[in-house]
Structure 1
Amino acid sequence: MDDAALTDAVTRADIEAAARRIAGHAIRTPLLNAPSLDAAMGRRIFVKAECLQKTGSFKFRGAFNAISLGTGGVVAYSSGNHAQGVALAARMAGRPAVIVMPSDAPAVKIANTKGYGAEVVLYDRANESREEIGQALQAERGLDLVKPYDDPRVIAGQGTCGLEIGEELPDGVEEVLVCCGGGGLTSGVALALEGRARVRPVEPEGFDDVARSLVSGRREANPKLTGSLCDAIVTPSPGELTFPILQRLCGPGLVVTDEEALRAMALAWTHLRIVVEPGGAVALAAALFHHEGDVAVVASGGNVDRETFVRALAYV
């Protein structure tokens, strides 16, 4: 597929169709604002609380859209949030789901995925390929593979978050920061907000493949796949489908440390009373510590284990 075809793999019309498809199934999450946080930072910060979405993250949007367009059983690979979204969406559709998850994924995410009725297949993230395992299961069992970000159906579903932001974004807010792994959410939101606001991807330090790719103009890879608290957005490289969209529409990437993500989690709890996981807090961390001016951010997920949340609350 050439670059032009990749760029046009998902359109705003696809996102609008996905919004109609998920209406009444996904939650329309609020765009929150805390005057106390604005006063402390000296600017307005608006937070799209996808941590309040079904299964605790934006991933339900893309999973439901993809599954509603397919038939039969599904297979997916994920460190946890896409896993849960696919598991619940499949259960709602009455379809079996097999989820390939890393053995070091947070226990709460593995337990929740099983709780939604999916079969979980664990693998060693450092030594095995989830893509190879997923493709093998797809072939062996005749399943529909729902990729976590490099799937037009998924990107369109995630873009519905951007449509909602655009409908509520106050005047004067011209940038939206989005937690970014493979780029499904970021590219979808960027498409939905094209002409309304500039989207910027945010990643954890040491896993900033998208930021580096936007600078170099080619898809860069991370040297390792583990080592960050932000496990939900640790991916090998930008997606083949997502990168051309990111390259066309997004501003420069931002990078935050694990400590900054923990501090952002504490401030989200203190001022907004929402629970955000580290990977879901990086956009807020960038807004707090690496951005000037009014801004909106996506708090992309809230599936955090107790130990990590207690660690974050030490910053309160």
Structure 2
Amino acid sequence: MSLLVNDRMLWPKGRRKAFTLSYDDGVTQDIKLVEILNKYGVKATFNINAGLFGQKNTVSAGKKEVSHIKLSREEITAIYKGHEIAVHGQYHKCLVGMDIARCVDEILECRKELERLEGKPVTGFAYAFGAYDEVVIKALEACGISYARTIEPTRKFDLPKNFLTWHPTCHHDDERIYDLADEFLSDGIYFSFTTPAKLFYVWGHSYEFDQNENWDHIDRLINKIAGRDDVWYATNIEIRDYVEAYRRLVYSADGELVYNPSTIPVYLGGIFTKEFIEVLPGETKKLLKPINM
């Protein structure tokens, strides 16, 4: 016989599913993407190159050539209202192979400019070209970056062990994305030693919908996932901050009490029970009893 504890992380309000998106480059196609997201009440994170505001170019990358026009500095705040903006490097440089001083400059200058626009700290990041190494990670730490998204798909719904190498579930053009969406939305038990809660994380570039002429694809995907009471729709930073609040919880030696030192309410439950508790900021609370198995 074993005891299954009921101190695993659940999403806000006891939900077991969370959905987040991340889109790079801050281009004009984001305007249409934001309209789709807002229509369905879904949040996303947009990763911006602050040194390239207003730059006009095209992109093909082996596909149909389309416009790659960066939004202007004046447009950013209004267009992304209700969403998150994050650092993507001042000039979209590949940081791998650079010394730490140049990495810090590329990261920090972008962060400072975005914070001037937002009027609040901006600590999210997405790696340009998905490229990173240990030097880059050290630079991110020195710059106060709290999470950094890669482009390496997990095709799973697990939480990152290290938020500075946060791997998404998949790209929006992943051939398995609708199967993954069905798996995510299912109410079947999700076995994880960390938490029974699932995180579906999709990334991409909005100009790719012009290249592939498939704006209906993202509309259909968001429509499929949106509007559900059992899903938390969050930005990347909201996900990170919530998980970190959970990881900061302090437990009594006998495993019966939990204290929340953070400023964020945290919800706890188990794999085989629908019960959960809410632990408010500064609160000490009795945990649910373990289940005999």
- What TM-score does the superposition give when structure 1 sets the normalisation length? 0.27
- What TM-score does the superposition give when structure 2 sets the normalisation length? 0.29
Greater relative contact order (CA < 8 Å, ≥ 6 in sequence):
2
Larger radius of gyration: 2
More helix by share: 1
